[in-house]
Amino acid sequence: MSERLPITGGLNQSAEAFLHWLENVKRASRHTVISYQNDLGHFFTFLSGHYGAKINLSHLKKLPARDIRAWLASRLADYEAASNARALSAIKRFYRWLEKEEGVENAAIFHIRGPKLGKPLPKALGEAQAAQALEFIATQHEEAWLNARDLALLLLMYGCGLRIGEALSLSPGDVQGVDALRITGKGNKQRLVPMLPVVAQAIDTYKSLCPHPLSASAPLFVGKQGKALDPAIFQLQLRKLRTALNLPDSATPHAFRHSFATHLLSAGGDLRTIQELLGHASLSTTQRYTHVDKTRLLSAYRQAHPRK
């Protein structure tokens, strides 16, 4: 810790020992250690200004919950909720270390709840990126049937909005001669999802090329040995895809489900229909996609508003 911080020598030594423990015993990264150091520095600086004096271990031991909340409130204008949650976590961890190593106890800190973090917005691919991904995934194996399998699986996620687990749970009987899939999703909730001709054709191509017998009730998607396909195998293919096409790390199997919803919304699909297709229990979950597709929403607003 910097000697310029408004803390006494004893507290400075404790903070230095804590950071040393974090780096050398817990093997935290240098980046993490610096983040903890900055959070402690911000905490000590606020308390010094709050009390009008240098801070010592006695202050920390007697610190009331209201002063900890005041410190958190002081960060709201300059830091996002995630940063504030991390900072509070850092201070709590310092207090746990103080309690164990130096006998400095203060239960108040552990009754403070961090800021509520909003759910991250869905991260969809662009339409051109999705098209590139479909083209790429169909060319990565020497065996044609494996390429057909991966293409059919990816099309189920992008063309039907399925989760990877939902797609891998399908059997040949589920897709035989149907134009809609009956999917059992989270909470055993069932939904009907239209199956586009391009998806049905990809599945038929895979089934015709697959060298392993596919009975009506067995898994539709199988690995090289004919057993149910391990999702990790397909996830590996997507990691290769991300590297080759320079796609972000967010381009996971679930991103193609997000892309399904976002691209439907862009094309004029309504939220209620998309909610049913995705199997969301609450419309508020589906409404997250409206934040992703701001361009379409602004365009619709400009076209429809009476004072455009």
Catalytic residue among 92, 254, 288, 296: 254
Hey, what are 12's tokens?
Answer: 């400075």
Identify the DSSP state of 230: P
Whether 254 is a known active-site residue: answer: yes
Whether 257 is a known active-site residue: answer: yes
Burial 88-100 (b: 16+ CB within 10 A, else e): bebbebbbebbbe
Sign (positive/negative) of CA torsion 33, 39, 45, 51?
A: negative
22 touches 32 (CB < 8 A): yes
Catalytic residue among 75, 149, 191, 257: 257
Q: Which residue has the tokens 């065996």?
A: 143
Catalytic residue among 26, 186, 189, 224: 186
Phi, psi at 16, each rounded to 5° = -60, -45
Whether 186 is a known active-site residue: answer: yes
Whether 31 is a known active-site residue: answer: no
Whether 289 is a known active-site residue: answer: yes
The alpha carbon of residue 182 and the mean position of all alpha carbons in its chain are separated, in whole angstroms, by 27
Q: Which residue has the tokens 């991250």?
A: 120
Burial 281-297 (b: 16+ CB within 10 A, else e): eeeeebebbeebbeeee
Catalytic residue among 163, 191, 242, 263: 163
Q: Which residue has the tokens 């190593």?
A: 101
Helical pair 271-278 and 253-266, crossing angle rounded to 10 deg: 160
Whether 163 is a known active-site residue: answer: yes
Sign (positive/negative) of CA torsion 54, 57, 59, 65?
A: positive
Catalytic residues: 163, 186, 254, 257, 280, 289
